[in-house]
Amino acid sequence: MLAFVTHPYHRGGVTSWIKDAFVECKQKGIPAALVTVAPSKPFISGKGRPSMVEFVSIKDGLYAAKADYKFELGLFNARVKVYQTLIRKNIPEGSVLIPSDDDACWAACCSLANHYPVIGVLHADDPHYYQLHQQFGGYLAGVVTVSSRILKSASPTQLPARVIPCGINMDHFQPGAKQSRILWVGRVEEEQKRVSDVVKVCQQLLKSHPGWTVEVYGHGDRLPWLENEKNRLGLANLVLHGWQDAVTIAHAMRHASVLLQTSNYEGMSVAVMEALASGCAVVSSRVSGVEDLESDEAKGLVRLYEVGAVSEAVNQLESVIQNWQPTVPDKARALALEHFSIANCVASYQSFAMHLKPSAKALPFRFSAAKHVGSFLVATLRLIKYKLTK
């Protein structure tokens, strides 16, 4: 059995993948489980996002304990204990545990590593994942990375390891009638996504291609700045849609011709996978994941430029526009089917997990009654402070 252990709220690519992988397993009759918690009231940190219990359509095999502010605001070890108890109660020993990107999920799984093989998945070329690997690597049965760059950087020499891109449900994406539209999709922030380059690209590209639009889908702390720059520079063809649901974005990709990715770093971008599945060409900074597609089969479909090299990005976009062929959408989708279908992803995990054994040791973990009381007090004080400052 593959048992996914995840934090309570959907918050991006990792939880989308967990949901799709779990649903794929259940629909194909592959033994699988999903372990999480169900907020009894919306968490402060939920920020209007759906909980995983709401996000996942199939409830068979979904194990979720009710949780309130004491889970969200209490001590780290209290959260670990909740996940640990859920696993022990519901998941047969010997099942393969796959934690999300949450530290408490990793700790809970690794505290049981002598009973369950644990696969650590490194989803991005990001210090957070390398820290998780460094902290918990000694308790893992195997490591999966979503790109070759991450595998090389992590160097898990003592463990079985494999590169397996996360994968998406291909049924949700289809090519449509393509229009003169370039999409940018993601969190509107600078540190990872380098959203400031979108403005620079628009300044150069739209002068020579006034019939095209660059459309930004997403929300984040740099959205007000982006709106100000759009108005200050008079970029009428830069369209800011803000946060939109998955159906709206899939429809936009169906009719767009190009996805632009400006990131400083990535794992294997969900937006890239979805865009290819929707028949879009991709112009991206040379980052983890997408660089694995730099091959003859992707020639003309995926074009890379060095991070921050805006003029090079504009040249690549112009090349896509000038060399567009009616066959691009079908070729892009075929590329996505080969590399990123959730069915192929799950099959790869099954193959990788087949011979994994529990670790010889587990992460030491003990949560005493005194610590339980301490966690309750901390959570209560944090809740009072939140209400006073709200």
Could you tell me if 85 and 229 lie in one domain?
A: no
Angle at the Cα of 146 (from 145 to 152), degrees rounded to 5? 50
Could you tell me if 143 and 91 lie in one domain?
A: yes
Range 98-101, long-range pairs (CB < 8 A, 24+ positions): 98/2, 98/3, 98/4, 98/5, 98/18, 98/349, 99/4, 99/5, 99/6, 100/4, 100/5, 100/6, 100/7, 100/14, 100/15, 100/18, 101/14, 101/128, 101/129, 101/132
Could you tell me if 176 and 155 lie in one domain?
A: no
Q: What is the pLDDT of residue 126?
A: 85
Could you tell me if 282 and 213 lie in one domain?
A: yes
Does residue 297 register a pLDDT over 80? no
Could you tell me if 45 and 95 lie in one domain?
A: yes
CB 245 within 8 A of CB 304: no
Could you tell me if 64 and 125 lie in one domain?
A: yes
Of the residues 320, 340, 360, the one at which a domain ends: 340
Lowest mean pLDDT among 63-67, 156-160, 255-259: 156-160
Distance of CA 282 to the CA centre of its chain: 18
Could you tell me if 134 and 21 lie in one domain?
A: yes
In this structure, what token pair is assigned to residue 1? 């059995």
Could you tell me if 203 and 334 lie in one domain?
A: yes
Could you tell me if 104 and 162 lie in one domain?
A: yes
Could you tell me if 370 and 228 lie in one domain?
A: no
Does residue 348 register a pLDDT over 90? yes
Return the H-helix or E-strand segment holding 53: helix 52-55
CATH of the domain at 122: 3.40.50.2000
Name the average pLDDT for the chain: 91
Could you tell me if 95 and 74 lie in one domain?
A: yes
Indicate the number of domains in the chain: 2
CB 70 within 8 A of CB 376: yes
324-343 per-position pLDDT tens digit: 999 999 999 999 998 899 99
**Measured distance CA(17)–CA(50) in Å, rounded:** 15
What is the residue range of 159's domain?
2-167+343-389
In this structure, what token pair is assigned to residue 198? 């979108």
Could you tell me if 328 and 351 lie in one domain?
A: no
Helices vs strands, H then E, count in the chain:
15, 13
